[in-house]
Structure 1
Amino acid sequence: MRRIGGRDIVAATLIALLTGAIFTSPPLQTLQGLSLDILTAMRGRLLGDSRNTATSPVVVVAIDSETYDTPPFKGSPTQTWTREIGRVLGSITEGGAKVIGFDVIFPSSIEQSEIPFGDTAVGGRMKGFDRDYLIALRQISDSGKLVLGEILSNDHPEVPYRAQQVAVRNTVRALNVHTDHDDVIRRMPLSFAIEGRPVPAMAVELAARAAGAKPEIASSGATELSGYAIPSAVPNTMALNFRGLGRDIPTYSFVDLRACVEKGDRDFFRRAFDGKVVLLGTVLNFEDRKLTSMRLAGGYDGTPAARCALPAPASTVQKSRSDIAGVFVHATAVRNLIERDAVTELGFPMRTILTIAFAAIIACAACLLAPSGALLTWSALTLVYAAVAVSAFVHALALPLTEPALASLAALAIMIGYRFMLADRDERFLRKSFAFYLAPEVIETMVTSGKMPALGGEMRNVTMFFSDLSGFSSIAETMTPGALVTLMNEYLSAMTDIIEGHGGYVDKYIGDSIVAMFGAPADDPAHAANAVRAALKCHEKLSELNASNPAFAGHGLSHRIGLNSGEAVVGNIGSRRRFNYTVMSDTVNVASRLEGANKYYGTAIMASETTMTQSGDAFAWRELDAIRVLGRGEAIKVFEPLAERDVESAEQAKVTAAYAEGLACWRAREFAKAADAFGQTAKTDPASALFAKRAQAFTANPPPADWTPVNTLEGK
């Protein structure tokens, strides 16, 4: 995590203000609607809707495809359906409906038809056809339970024909909806100015009649209905709450109700419509379809209600659609008003403040963290915020969702660009300048503190790693300089990748030798095990290079690796003008000696007892000997790591067992038995061959009584 300065704070603030203002500005106001769509989808998919349709205060009577396909309506123009509509409306009213609203408009009557029929027009022969229908409208209207619908328009208004208007004493209300700029219906108008006075929209009129109240304008400017202040972020509109995705509205097929009238089942009408607001409308696949805030979730054309007289159609499985029949938009609005469940949206100032605050948080994260970390932070915080927004939407509060998410993402991108172009130039210069000379952790400390590295060190428990190519000097003499450089670069690169991949730090290269340490600069409690694992991988990698890399062809390179763990001084060591991050102590010297000791035993990797102990039980080992290295009086036991625990081969296990038996006999001065034990594997194991030869010599000429089983190495 980088330090954040005053300039960074100013930049983060300006970026948050800019992105917040942009994404809540009027040109991008469709994002507010998109938030409603996403919240509706997430709430519907994650939480569903547990409301019982039987308790719905609103029901729909659908003039559906079943109606069009069933006699007596099949093949008949809708203008001839009015008598049957009047009969069904009468039964619904007798069943106890509170109020009936028309989402269908009959702009003309069959009595007005001028199509010739014999010596007169069809209309002349049909005089009086609508009389019973108009009488039914008048009776229901006089009881205050009927509202016809109309479409207001300056160009093409659509209104019921004049006789209907007279029958209902002009109780006609607008069915117009509020369409956003993206042609999606998310809000419903509350009223319309007609002849200079506000007239309630259809949904408000129906809810008011059901509640026995009149809509009023409060001092705050909000429309109130029975004490309910209708939330209205967009003036004179109500945000629709599609809590049940349309499935919360019971839907009756008109043709089934007509058959129910013929059947004379008054109890059914009482059970279905008592105390309900009823909306009559068309529910067809290709007529009066509306895109709403359910478009992402998928809406439903109600829930099929109980049947009275006709069997249900064979195909009754409902599928969600991006659009719904228009009558359900009005039904949802009425239910929202009656249940006081309309969506409350934040006003422009609060949406802007919330968006800017979220963008500021992400901008600060982008300033503090690496780009990947900042992106993860943005993802996590956006998910948390989305969960909070969905929880709030369960209670009909719509928090802005897309605006904060997009503004903060833009702030993230801009802040990363700002850091790259301005703030991090010095840091990149330091990293680039010192990358080849200092450990990454040292550079990180230098960048974080803002200070250049200084002389000094500390005691750390580390594992030293020394490696050297066997007989490389003689091989190098036969190679051209170019080929030699290519070979060394390939070798050192491969070994360094493995060492650093296991948490090691390469201190230096000395010709073909590598000096590395594990456990510093970065803390690593498992430094011994990581060093052993790296040594085994390096040995394996060299075999692969010899077999497949053209630069190694014909050379058959082998190397020796020494490992030792213990306390050491690590830090910036050198002169005041030039220094390296390196390590100093006897631990280093012993590791160097163990690397050279491999040549006596014919082994590739040798580790001290300390390293073997600190690496735990992760590996299969064999004890090689107790040795005394040059420049050190104390004897140490040395071990060879064979493989990961339980991965060693059967041959390795056989050699280890025979070697352990021979070593035990050797230390017990049973040299003949030791020679026999070592001899079992002497042909394939150089260390066994060495001990077999020494044991045979001692068998012929036993050592003095004060002999100790310690091998003193004379050279490095």
Structure 2
Amino acid sequence: MTFKKKNEYFLGFAATIFTLIIYSLSPGFIKDLELLYQNAQFHWRGPDTPGKDIVIASVDEKSLDKLGRWPWSRDVFARIVDNLTAMGARVIAFDMVFSGEDNSGGLPGFLKLKDKLGQKGIKDSSVLSILDESIESADRDNLFATAIKNSRRVVLGYFFHFDPSTLSHLSRKELDQNFKNIKSTRFRGFIKSDQSIDPSDFNILQAYAVESNLDELSKNTRHAGFFSFDVETDGTLRRQPLLVQYHDADSGRDFFFPSLAVKSVEKFFKGTMLFKVGPAGVEKVLIDAKEPIVIPTNSKGEIMINFLGPQGSFPYISLADIYAPREGGLDSGIFKDKIVLVGATATALKDIRLTPFDPVFPGVEIHGTIIDNILNGKSLYRPAWLDLAEPGFLFVWGVFLTILFSLAKPVWGLGLWMALNFGYFCIVQWFFVSERFFLFGTLPMLQSLVILSLMVAYQYLVEQNQKRFIRGVFDQYVSPEVIDRLISNPDNMKLGGEEKELTSYFTDLAGFTSFSEKMTAEAQVKFLNEYLGEMSDILLKHEGTLDKYDGDAIKAFFGAPVYFSNHAEKACMVAIAMQKRLEELNHEWKEKELPELKMRIGINTGMIVVGNLGSKTRMSYGMNGDAVNLAARLEGANKFYGTWTMIAESTYLQAKDAIEAREMDYIQVVGRKKPVKIFELIGVKGCLEEDKKEMIKFYEKGLALYKEGEWEKAIILFKKALEIDPDDGPSKILIARCHELEQSPPEEQWQGVYTLSSK
């Protein structure tokens, strides 16, 4: 065996051992890759056809328009329950909780009136009869409770708190009452292989509090289940516990409660869920019905959800049509013998979840999916033998790849790798679609790529990576257009310049100086490199030219050396993208216990001198001019106004069709005689929400009155803007200024110009 062959085998076996270590440690990035791959498997499979036993009764936009603002009065739900019962629904399950009393009918007032009549000795039977009738019709909770009782088909929902830090709003009395309201629905169906087994040891999801329905509602049905979800680390919902464990501090006992889906299936089949448990945890789950249904779960009693498709996989019927069937032209037969899940699908109600199929998936349809999985035996599962088979496969796979790639010529290496992984992909997908379980998809593919890279192309990759690294470092300081232009035409490397209308751009991190004083020099450099690298990537992506860095500040311009007419618009787009990316970075830094940072940006469009500045041996492509200085002043002016991105009027006029911005003031900055209108850049065109639009409308009206010298009227409008956004800095500034001007009115020739006294 040659020395080269030994090294190839060593690299292949080392990569295989490394893969097995990674498998045993299961680091977060591998888990995340695997979860992404599993998401993709759903999309590659495509939508699956659900059964016909489930209908979604939707709190959608139509029902909100027809039945009024949410939450609705309980008499609305009473009528909905009555109508669904009359139309033959077998189960009516609520993916919502009715925890507070409904006083919308004026019940407290009627009761108070009756009490006063009694105190005054009024005993007119006709009056009291009318009053009693009014009290009865005003008691909306009783109407709903009566409907639930008469229907005998209702499954109520409630939710658990899984984080003890979220319980501050609940008193001890409320906690006890909520637990009391659901205690009768607790799960008792454990079948133990040994009576010494304690289900509390099974690591079943632990809840710290429950928020349940009113006692008046809870006592009218024995059927209720939790609708809380437990998401993965990436925020996606893939599995759902069928039971949740709750420890009652008063009795010192552990209780278990079933999910809304389980209670709905029990009600549908008139059966009972049973958990067969052994020393290792949950061994088997089944619905003890006329025809028993086995539910595959893990040892914690969690079901792996087999999502059938994007939102709308089940029939959706608006609650507006159920409330008034004749008006909706509804076919009542659609509910006959069905499980009807009542829940919110309107985006405004925010019961939206992230699933492998759809990033905006209504929670009520997830419950429908779980129920459909149980009814039709479609849930996913993980066979026990995979725990041994997976590491064994990784070892055999690594040995096979090592021998194969050592025999193949380098030119064929990539082709072999693609063919092998395509075959493995087909096998994995077949198991998912046909057998309903996941084989690990990413790790064997990564293992094969590592072995191929080490054995066939190591030196070549090192060389190419080195070239990419050098170019990557150079690209951070000079735009790709400048590099390409200088390479294609060396004559550009000369001193000189030209004046043209361009857009200058300045950024600075607020509070970085005080923050950086607490960091070591090495940590500062690492932090700045990450921040400046992210911001520079955005700048260069939008054809901006980096002038220079000044600590944490960035100085740049748009429109040179390669000119484009929409330089003002691109500068604004870069500002929006940078602020968005900084917000994302803040989330990442927060996990590292680093403080949140904010970035001030100033943008101005005007005549700028650009060119190569420096000596024969060292030069840089930069900018100069009054328009550049104004951009720097605007960046600093953000501090005064409490804003983060400020643009001059010249920039706004050229970019206004693509951005959302508001006029803020008319100012004169330090070192410049000519005043300038300034605008706050808010976002891309069409991004404003209604409350933001309303706030800006008040502000702009107030600004107009301010310019006309109507201080008191302006203050009223600025305060209205603050009612919508209490943190709006410009409104606060102009209110204070209006008060000053009321005390010391300006000269008659005043044109609304305010002079900033600092940079």
> By the TM > 0.5 criterion, same fold?
no
Find the structure with the greater CA-based Rg.
Answer: 1
Name the TM-score, length of structure 2 as normaliser.
0.37
- Per the normalisation by structure 1, the TM-score is 0.39
